[in-house]
C-alpha cells in the first residue's frame, strides 16, 4: 500500500512539473530577472529622453536613433555612440544629416508618396491588402550600424547570474545571412508579392501581449487625437513568387486620417522606433506635439515598460538578429466620393449592421496609392504597387457567406448519403460497396470538420458559422459515413485474407488460409472509430505542417493529395469488377419487372454518384479558377480542368460498367463468367423441352411461362427477371437439427448441466447462435453466457456424460430419409458436412449405419483438411465436401450448381459464402424468433418448416 501511495505521489509531482509555468513575466532565473529589469530600465530611460524631445531638437541616447544617414555616409564604420563629436543635437531638419534616410528617399516621400493634400479618407482601415513588391535597390545606400545590448544574449552556462554589459554589432557573412533562423537579410529578387495586414490598436491586442482589457478601457485616451491620428499595428510580408525568399516585419504605425499618410516602423532590440514617430511624421510643431502626446498616452495606458515580459525580450532579440529594420511610408487612396457623414454611417453599419443604406457591393477597397519601404541597416529600398483589399468587415461577411454555402453542400451530401443507404438495405447490396471509396470521402470530411473546429476559437468574428460548418461536417463524417462504413466492413470481413482471384471467381475455390475469428459489429465499430480519429489526427498534423513547406514541395503535395482524394470512385470500380454485374441489356429486356427489380446492377445510385462528384468538385474548381477566392489561392485553371476530366473519366468507367457489365475491360480467360439464374434459354433447349409458343411449364405453379430466347426476336420483350433457371447438380446436408433430432438432445443435455449450477434452462436466443458451430466455440459461448465455473475440458467432459445417454435414441426428422433416398435413386451426388467431430458422429449414427451409407461423402468438423478456426460460418466444410464429390465422380461441379440444406444461421451464412442455394429448415422453436429471414437469406435461399415441404420439382429434381 505504501508503494502504491509513493507511486501516486511521484506521478503527481511529475504532472505538476510539466504543467507548471513561470510567473506572469516568464522569469525563471536570476539571469533572466536581470535581463528583464535591464530592458525595462532601458525603455524608461529612453522615454524620459523622449519626453525632453522637441520639434527643434535631435534624438539623443535612444536605441537605433543615435546615427543619421549622413553620419554613416561620411564614415560607414562609425559606431552608434552618444554623444558623437561634432553632431548637432540642438536642432532638427528633414534631411539625411538628421534622419536615418538618404536624401533621395526623403525627397521621394515628400514630393511623390506623401503629396496628397487634405481630403477625405476612411477613419477605419482595418483590412488585409495584397499587391506587388518591386526592388528599387539593395546595394546603393550606405548601411547604418545598429548595436544590440549584450543583456539580450542568453547565458553561456547555468552558473551565469548576470548578463554582460555593453553592446555588440551583427556581422553578416558574405551571403547576407544573419542569425540561425534562416531568413535572408538582403532582398535579391526584383519583383515579388506583398501582403499587408492592418489592424487598429484599439481593436486587437498589441504586440506586447497585453490583455485586451489593459488598453481597451483606455481606448478613448490614445486611439485618436482630435480625430486626426490613429495607432495601427501592421504585419507586412513580401516574397518572390516561388516563395524561396521571404521577408516579414511586424510594425507599429500611425495613421493621419486627414491626409491618408501612414508611417510604419519595425521595432527590435536594436531599434526602438516608438520614439521616432513625431519627428518622421509631423510637418509642423503642432503635429509634432499631437503625435508626441498620443505616444505618451499610449505609453501610460498600456503601462508599456512595466508590462514587458521575457517573451517580449526574446521577440525583440529575435527580430534584431534575424531581420532588417524597416521604415514604411504609405499613402492611402482617398474616398472623395463620400461625405464625412456618409463615411461615418458606413463605419457604423459595418461595425453594427442595422440595415443602413450603404450599398456594400459598391464600397471601394482600401488601396495604397503609393508606398515605399526602406531599411536603414540593410540599405534596401522597395516600392509597393497595386496594393489593395476590402475592408475587414466585408471580407468577414464574404467568408461567412461562403461557409454557409459550404454547410448547404454538407447537407446535400448527407441527403445523398441517406438515399444511398436506403437503397442498399440488404447485406448483399451493402457487400458490393467499396469500403475504401467511403474511407476516402470520410477522410476529407473528417479533416474539414477538424479544421473548422480548430479555426473557430481563433477567428472570433467567424465563430458561429465555423461551429455550424464543423457540426454539419462532423455529423456527416462521424455519424452517417462511419455508420455506413461499419455496415460495409462487417459484410466484407470474411473476405479478409482471401486472394483477389478467389474473390473474382466468386469464392468457389477452397481457401487454404488460416482465418481469424469474425468480430461482431460492436468490435468493428470501436475499431473503425479508433482508426478514424487516429487517421484524422495524423492527417491534420501533416496538412498543417505542409503550410510551412517550400512552395515547390507544397504545390506538388497539394496537387498529389487532391488527385488522390478525388479518385474515390476507383475503389468502387475495382469492387464492381470483383463482385461482377450483368450488362444492362441482359438486365433490361423490354421492360423492368416490378416484382424483381434490378438486383444485378452496380450498387450505387446514379443520383449519389453524380451528386457527390459535383458537390465535392465545385469547391475545388472555385478555389483554382476564381482569382479573388477567399483563400487567396493561386489561380490554376489547367489543374481544375485536369481534375474535372479525371472525375469525368471515373464516371464514364462506372457508367460503362453499368452499361456493358462490370468486368467488360477484363480478359475473359482471367474471369470465368458466373452462373446466371436469370438468363436466356438456348433455342435447342426450347425445341426439345418447350412448347411451340416459346414457353416452359413452371414446375411450381404448373403454368406456361414465357422465356427469353436469343434466336427468337418475338421473345425479346419477355422480362428476363420474371423466371429463374435453377441448376442442381449436387446436394450438401448438415446433420444435427436437419437430418437428426440431435439438436433437441443437445438442448436436453445442456439443460441438465445448467440445472446442476442453478442457471435455469437454455435460452433460445443463445441456442440460435450455437447451431452449427464447432464444439469448442459453442462451449465457450455457453460458459461465457452463463458464467459457468468450468474450463473448456471440464465442460466438455460433463456435457459428453449427459449426451452419451441420449445419442443412441436419435432418429431421422420427418421427410429427411425419404429425400436422401430419392436423391440417391436419381443419381444426384449427396454429401454430409457436419460440424460434429468424428467420434460424436459415430455415437449419434451407430444405430443408423445403413441409412448414412447413402451419402457419397461424409465430412466431420475435425477433418484435418479444414484449417483451425474455419468452421461455420466459413464455407470451408462445404468446399471440402464438393471437392470430394468432384474427385469421387471425376466431375467439375461448381458451388452455384449445389443445394445446401441447413438448420442453423451460421450454416446458412456458410452456405451463402460457399456460393450455393440454401434451403433453410430452422427448428420450430426458432422460427418465431427469426425476424430477419429475408436479410439472412438475401435472395440466395428459402426457408421451410420441414423437409417434408421441400418441392423437388421447383429445382428440377
The cell for 693 is 409458343
Which member of 195, 445, 719, 736 is catalytic? Answer: 736
Phi/psi of residue 177, nearest 5 degrees: -70, 150
Q: Any idea what the Cα angle at residue 529 is, between residues 528 and 534, rounded to 5°?
A: 95
CB 909 within 8 A of CB 399: no
* Cα–Cα distance measured from residue 72 to residue 906, given in angstroms and rounded to the nearest whole number: 92
Report DSSP state, residue 61.
Answer: S
Active-site residue flag, 177:
no
Side-chain-facing half-sphere of 40: CA atoms under 13 Å = 15
Angle at 852 between CA 851 and CA 855, to 5 degrees: 120
Q: What CA–CA distances, in Å, run from 73 to 69, 70, 352, 379? A: 6, 5, 53, 12
Closest CA to 439 of 484, 496, 490: 484
Where b means 16+ CB within 10 Å and e means fewer, 424-447 reads: beebbbbbbbbbebbbbbbbbbbb
Q: Could you write out the three-class secondary structure of 831-850?
A: EEECCCCHHHHHHHHCCCHH
How far is CA 105 from each of CA 75, 88, 114, 254, 312, rounded to the nearest angstrom?
Answer: 20, 22, 12, 19, 31
| 226 a catalytic residue | no
CA distance 325 to 236: 12
DSSP letter for each residue of 375-420: ETTTTEEEEEEEEEE-BHHHHHHHHHHHHHHHHHHHHHHHHHHHHH
Residues forming beta bridges with residue 704, ordered by sequence position: 697
CA 552, CA 545: separation in Å to the nearest integer? 14
Which of the following is catalytic: 734, 897, 903, 938? 734
The set of cell numbers assigned to 684 is 435447342
- The DSSP secondary-structure symbol of 673 reads P
DSSP 113: I
CB of 654 closer than 8 Å to CB of 638:
no
Give catalytic residues, as residue numbers.
734, 736
Amino acid at each position: 500500500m505504501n508503494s502504491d501511495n509513493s507511486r501516486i505521489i511521484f506521478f503527481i509531482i511529475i504532472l505538476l512539473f510539466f504543467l507548471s509555468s513561470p510567473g506572469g513575466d516568464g522569469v525563471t532565473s536570476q539571469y533572466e530577472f536581470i535581463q528583464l529589469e535591464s530592458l525595462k530600465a532601458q525603455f524608461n530611460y529612453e522615454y524620459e529622453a523622449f519626453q525632453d524631445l522637441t520639434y527643434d531638437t535631435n534624438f539623443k541616447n535612444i536605441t537605433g536613433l543615435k546615427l543619421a544617414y549622413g553620419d554613416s555616409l561620411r564614415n560607414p564604420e562609425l559606431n552608434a555612440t552618444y554623444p558623437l563629436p561634432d553632431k548637432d543635437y540642438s536642432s532638427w531638419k528633414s534631411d539625411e544629416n538628421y534622419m536615418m534616410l538618404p536624401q533621395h528617399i526623403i525627397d521621394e516621400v515628400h514630393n511623390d508618396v506623401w503629396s496628397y493634400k487634405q481630403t477625405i479618407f476612411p477613419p477605419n482601415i482595418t483590412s488585409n491588402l495584397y499587391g506587388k513588391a518591386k526592388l528599387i535597390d539593395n546595394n546603393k545606400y550606405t548601411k547604418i550600424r545598429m548595436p544590440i545590448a549584450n543583456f539580450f544574449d542568453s547565458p553561456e552556462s547555468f552558473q551565469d547570474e548576470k548578463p554582460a554589459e555593453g553592446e555588440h554589432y551583427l556581422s553578416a557573412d558574405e551571403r547576407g545571412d544573419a542569425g540561425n533562423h534562416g531568413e535572408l537579410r538582403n532582398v535579391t529578387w526584383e519583383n515579388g508579392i506583398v501582403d499587408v495586414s492592418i489592424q487598429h490598436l484599439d481593436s486587437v491586442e498589441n504586440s506586447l501581449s497585453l490583455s485586451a482589457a489593459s488598453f481597451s478601457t483606455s481606448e478613448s485616451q490614445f486611439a485618436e487625437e482630435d480625430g486626426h491620428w490613429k495607432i495601427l499595428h501592421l504585419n507586412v510580408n513580401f516574397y518572390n513568387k516561388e516563395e524561396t525568399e521571404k521577408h516579414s516585419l511586424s510594425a507599429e504605425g500611425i495613421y493621419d486620417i486627414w491626409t491618408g499618410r501612414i508611417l510604419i516602423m519595425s521595432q527590435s532590440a536594436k531599434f526602438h522606433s516608438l520614439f521616432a514617430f513625431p519627428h518622421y511624421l509631423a510637418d509642423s510643431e503642432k503635429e509634432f506635439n499631437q503625435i508626441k502626446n498620443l505616444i505618451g498616452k499610449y505609453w501610460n495606458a498600456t503601462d508599456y515598460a512595466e508590462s514587458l515580459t521575457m517573451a517580449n525580450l526574446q521577440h525583440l532579440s529575435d527580430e534584431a538578429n534575424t531581420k532588417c529594420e524597416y521604415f514604411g511610408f504609405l499613402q492611402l487612396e482617398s474616398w472623395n466620393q463620400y461625405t464625412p457623414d456618409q463615411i461615418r454611417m458606413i463605419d457604423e453599419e459595418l461595425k453594427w449592421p442595422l440595415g443602413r443604406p450603404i450599398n456594400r457591393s459598391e464600397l471601394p477597397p482600401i488601396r495604397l496609392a503609393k508606398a515605399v519601404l526602406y531599411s536603414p541597416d540593410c540599405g534596401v529600398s522597395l516600392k509597393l504597387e497595386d496594393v489593395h483589399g476590402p475592408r475587414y468587415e466585408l471580407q468577414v461577411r464574404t467568408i461567412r457567406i461562403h461557409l454557409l454555402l459550404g454547410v448547404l453542400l454538407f447537407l446535400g451530401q448527407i441527403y445523398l448519403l441517406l438515399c444511398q443507404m436506403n437503397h442498399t438495405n440488404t447485406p448483399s447490396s451493402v457487400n458490393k460497396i467499396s469500403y475504401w471509396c467511403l474511407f476516402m470521402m470520410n477522410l476529407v470530411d473528417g479533416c474539414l470538420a477538424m479544421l473548422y473546429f480548430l479555426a473557430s476559437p481563433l477567428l472570433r468574428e467567424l465563430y458561429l458559422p465555423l461551429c455550424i460548418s464543423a457540426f454539419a461536417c462532423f455529423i456527416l463524417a462521424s455519424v452517417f459515413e462511419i455508420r455506413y462504413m461499419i455496415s460495409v466492413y462487417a459484410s466484407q470481413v470474411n473476405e479478409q485474407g482471401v486472394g483477389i482471384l478467389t474473390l473474382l471467381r466468386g469464392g468457389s475455390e477452397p481457401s487454404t488460409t488460416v482465418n481469424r475469428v469474425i468480430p461482431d459489429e460492436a468490435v468493428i465499430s470501436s475499431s473503425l472509430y479508433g482508426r478514424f480519429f487516429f487517421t484524422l489526427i495524423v492527417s491534420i498534423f501533416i496538412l498543417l505542417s505542409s503550410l510551412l513547406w517550400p512552395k515547390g514541395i507544397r504545390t506538388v503535395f497539394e496537387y498529389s493529395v487532391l488527385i488522390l482524394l478525388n479518385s474515390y470512385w476507383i475503389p468502387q470500380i475495382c469492387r464492381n469488377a470483383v463482385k461482377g454485374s450483368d450488362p444492362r441489356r441482359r438486365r433490361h429486356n423490354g421492360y423492368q419487372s416490378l416484382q424483381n427489380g434490378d438486383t444485378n446492377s452496380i450498387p450505387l445510385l446514379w443520383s449519389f454518384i453524380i451528386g457527390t462528384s459535383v458537390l465535392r468538385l465545385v469547391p475545388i474548381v472555385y478555389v483554382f479558377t476564381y482569382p479573388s477566392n477567399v483563400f487567396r489561392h493561386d489561380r490554376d485553371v489547367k489543374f481544375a480542368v485536369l481534375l474535372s476530366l479525371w472525375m469525368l473519366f471515373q464516371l464514364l468507367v462506372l457508367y460503362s460498367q453499368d452499361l456493358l457489365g462490370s468486368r467488360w475491360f477484363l480478359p475473359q480467360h482471367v474471369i470465368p463468367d458466373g452462373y446466371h439464374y436469370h438468363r436466356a434459354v438456348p433455342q435447342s433447349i426450347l425445341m426439345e423441352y418447350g412448347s411451340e409458343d416459346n414457353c416452359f411449364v413452371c414446375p411450381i405453379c404448373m403454368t406456361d411461362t414465357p422465356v427469353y430466347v436469343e434466336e427468337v426476336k418475338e421473345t425479346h420483350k419477355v422480362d428476363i427477371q420474371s423466371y429463374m433457371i435453377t441448376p442442381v447438380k449436387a446436394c450438401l446436408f448438415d446433420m444435427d437439427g436437419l437430418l437428426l433430432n440431435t439438436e433437441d438432445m443437445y438442448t436436453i443435455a445442456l439443460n441438465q448441466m445448467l440445472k446442476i449450477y442453478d442457471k435455469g434452462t437454455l435460452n433460445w436466443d443463445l441456442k440460435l447462435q450455437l447451431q452449427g458451430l464447432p464444439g469448442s466455440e459453442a462451449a465457450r459461448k455457453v460458459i461465457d453466457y452463463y458464467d459457468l465455473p468450468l474450463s473448456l475440458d471440464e465442460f466438455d467432459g460433463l456435457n459428453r456424460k449427459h449426451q452419451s445417454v441420449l445419442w443412441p435414441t436419435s432418429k431421422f426428422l420427418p421427410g429427411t430419409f425419404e429425400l436422401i433416398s430419392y436423391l440417391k435413386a436419381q443419381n444426384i451426388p449427396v454429401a454430409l458436412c457436419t460440424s460434429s467431430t468424428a467420434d460424436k458422429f459415430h455415437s449419434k449414427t451407430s444405430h443408423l449405419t445403413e441409412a448414412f451409407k447413402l451419402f457419397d461423402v461424409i465430412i466431420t468438423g475435425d477433418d484435418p483438411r479444414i484449417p483451425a478456426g474455419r468452421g461455420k460460418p466459413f464455407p470451408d466444410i462445404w468446399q471440402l465436401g464438393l471437392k470430394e464429390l468432384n474427385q469421387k465422380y471425376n466431375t467439375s461441379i461448381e458451388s452455384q450448381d449445389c443445394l445446401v440444406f441447413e438448420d442453423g444461421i451460421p450454416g446458412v451464412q456458410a452456405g451463402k459464402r460457399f456460393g450455393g442455394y440454401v434451403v433453410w429448415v430452422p427448428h420450430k422453436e426458432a422460427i418465431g424468433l427469426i425476424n430477419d429471414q429475408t436479410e439472412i437469406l438475401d435472395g440466395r435461399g428459402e426457408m421451410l418448416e420441414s423437409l417434408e415441404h421441400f418441392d423437388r420439382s421447383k429445382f428440377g429434381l
